């Protein structure tokens, strides 16, 4: 990878994080943003974070902070930013038209083999890449915030994406220390958000129906399910939770699981009286002013850092 170039288009929260991840893998990273001065600002922010990480002995990769930072540059000109890139990670606003336009422009400045990758959380590859000439080299690499500590990347193909492109993205993500997973076809919400929304829906219903408080349902996750989900998934959980593995588990619990699932309510409105009540309850625990929210975010990132260390 020495000397290989990755271009990050869009230098907000996610663009900056991707840049740090790629730098930690020893890649040259060129950042572009269409807001003048924004990419320069991003570089200053990355510099600060990379140095802080080094001081905290949490810097990823084999290179020192100054070695990593020497691989970084910012550009206000798109063609300059894309020159020599073998991989482009798009991180602009979550807006379909913006992304379509960006990829159309990007395609005009790169060679045929350059992989075009989008960070979109919710848009389908067939829509994001609908205006590109050659969707075979296009893919979605959906990170989880903050990607520096939460390593999962969902790789989602366009219907025409070449298997070799999927493989190369998988290799790149693995090499820079992320944990890629492959979706075999596109689906709304990908895998992570489909699971997340299922959890949100049932937690919401339980609070809405006055079964449990906001504080306690969050504890059900953080002190219960979440404890093992940081290390093993739900299928392995089933496999381990009966003496003789998954089939044994199903023999014992199939009926019960189906009975409980059949009592789940309809999709919540996430609105009206229930939303007002749930908002009031969470705000009593964590007021929604910037000071309190920032403090909780900082705590979250500190704990994630510790967990990431533990998982290593
Ligand atoms: P952000 O608002 O922090 O940053 C967007 C950046 O893109 C801004 O700096 C903006 O100036 C720049 N930009 C906008 N249009 C552009 C263009 N045409 N060309 C170049 N730059 C342009 O947003 P973010 O939170 O970093 O999200 C970026 C993408 O990552 C979105 O698609 C989002 O869905 C996805 N994502 C976000 C998260 C998250 O938790 N924030 C998690 C996973 C994926």
Same domain for 124 and 226 = no
Same domain for 209 and 109 = no
pLDDT value at 1 more than 80: no
Point out the domain boundary residue: 135, 157, 182. Answer: 182
What CATH number should be reported for the domain holding residue 300?
1.10.1040.10
What CATH number should be reported for the domain holding residue 91?
3.40.50.720
| Mean pLDDT along residues 195-203 | 98
The number of domains in the chain is 2
C-alpha 4 to ligand 1 mean position (Å) = 24
Same domain for 147 and 22 = yes
Pocket test for ligand 1, best of 7, 8, 13, 127 (most atoms within 8 A of CB): 13
Beta carbons of 246 and 239 less than 8 angstroms apart: yes
Could you list the residue range(s) of the whole structural domain that residue 204 is in? 192-311
Question: What tens digit of pLDDT does each residue of 76-129 get?
Answer: 999 999 999 999 999 999 999 999 999 999 999 999 999 999 999 999 999 999
Same domain for 145 and 228 = no
Identify the three-state secondary structure at position 200.
helix
pLDDT value for 180: 98
Same domain for 210 and 175 = no
114 is a domain residue = yes
Index of the ligand 1 atom closest to the CA of residue 101: 18
Point out the domain boundary residue: 132, 148, 182. Answer: 182
pLDDT value for 203: 98
pLDDT value for 160: 98
The reply to whether ligand 1 has any atom less than 6 angstroms from the CB of 181 is no
pLDDT value for 286: 98
Residue 283 has a CB neighbour count (10 Å cut-off) of 13
Distances from the Cα of 242 to the Cα of 176, 249, 252, angstroms: 37, 5, 8
The mean-pLDDT minimum among 161-170, 215-224, 227-236, 303-312 falls in 303-312
Point out the domain boundary residue: 136, 158, 182. Answer: 182
Residue 306's φ and ψ, nearest 5 degrees, are -60, -40
Nearest CA to ligand 1 atom 4: 12
Nearest CA to ligand 1 atom 9: 12
The reply to whether ligand 1 has any atom less than 6 angstroms from the CB of 71 is no
269 is a domain residue = yes
**Residue 221 CB partners (closer than 8 Å, separation 6+):** 199, 203
Same domain for 232 and 130 = no
pLDDT value at 249 more than 80: yes
Pocket test for ligand 1, best of 12, 40, 42 (most atoms within 8 A of CB): 12
The reply to whether ligand 1 has any atom less than 6 angstroms from the CB of 128 is no
pLDDT value for 3: 79
Same domain for 151 and 9 = yes
**Residue 265 CB partners (closer than 8 Å, separation 6+):** 205, 209
pLDDT value for 255: 98
187 is a domain residue = no
C-alpha 16 to ligand 1 mean position (Å) = 10
C-alpha 92 to ligand 1 mean position (Å) = 4
Same domain for 178 and 198 = no
The reported pTM is 0.95
75 is a domain residue = yes
The reply to whether ligand 1 has any atom less than 6 angstroms from the CB of 119 is yes
The reply to whether ligand 1 has any atom less than 6 angstroms from the CB of 146 is no
| Mean pLDDT along residues 231-243 | 97
The reply to whether ligand 1 has any atom less than 6 angstroms from the CB of 66 is no
pLDDT value for 290: 97
Percent of the chain predicted with pLDDT > 90: 94
Same domain for 175 and 30 = yes
Question: What tens digit of pLDDT does each residue of 7-27 get?
Answer: 999 999 999 999 999 999 999
Same domain for 70 and 25 = yes
Name the average pLDDT for the chain.
96
């Amino acid at each position: 990878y020495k000397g290989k170039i990755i271009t990050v288009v869009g230098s907000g929260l996610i663009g900056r994080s991707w840049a740090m991840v790629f730098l930690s893998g020893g890649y040259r990273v060129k950042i572009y943003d269409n807001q003048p001065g924004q990419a320069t600002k991003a570089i200053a922010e990355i510099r600060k974070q990379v140095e802080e990480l080094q001081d905290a002995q949490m810097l990823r990769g084999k290179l020192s902070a100054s070695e990593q930072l020497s691989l970084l540059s910012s550009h206000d000109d798109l063609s300059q930013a894309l020159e020599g890139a073998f991989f482009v990670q798009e991180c602009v606003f979550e807006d379909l038209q913006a992304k379509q336009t960006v990829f159309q422009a990007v395609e005009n400045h790169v060679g045929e083999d350059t992989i075009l990758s989008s960070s979109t959380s919710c848009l389908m590859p067939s829509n994001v890449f609908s205006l590109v000439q050659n969707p075979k080299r296009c893919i979605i690499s959906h990170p989880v915030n903050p990607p520096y500590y939460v390593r999962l990347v969902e790789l989602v193909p366009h219907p025409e994406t070449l298997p070799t492109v999927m493989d190369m993205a998988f290799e790149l993500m693995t090499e820079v220390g992320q944990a890629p997973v492959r979706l075999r076809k596109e689906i709304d919400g990908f895998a992570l958000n489909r699971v997340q929304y299922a959890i949100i829906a049932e937690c919401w219903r339980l609070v809405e129906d006055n079964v449990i408080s906001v504080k306690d349902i969050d504890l059900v996750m953080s002190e219960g399910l979440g404890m093992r989900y940081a290390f093993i998934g739900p299928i392995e959980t089933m496999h381990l939770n009966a003496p003789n593995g998954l089939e044994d588990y199903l023999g014992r619990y199939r009926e019960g699981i189906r009975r409980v699932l059949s009592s789940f309510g309809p999709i919540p409105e996430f609105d009206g009286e229930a939303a007002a009540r749930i908002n009031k309850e969470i705000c009593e625990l964590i007021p929604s002013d910037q000071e309190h929210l920032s403090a909780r975010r900082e705590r979250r990132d500190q704990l994630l850092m510790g967990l990431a260390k533990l998982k290593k």
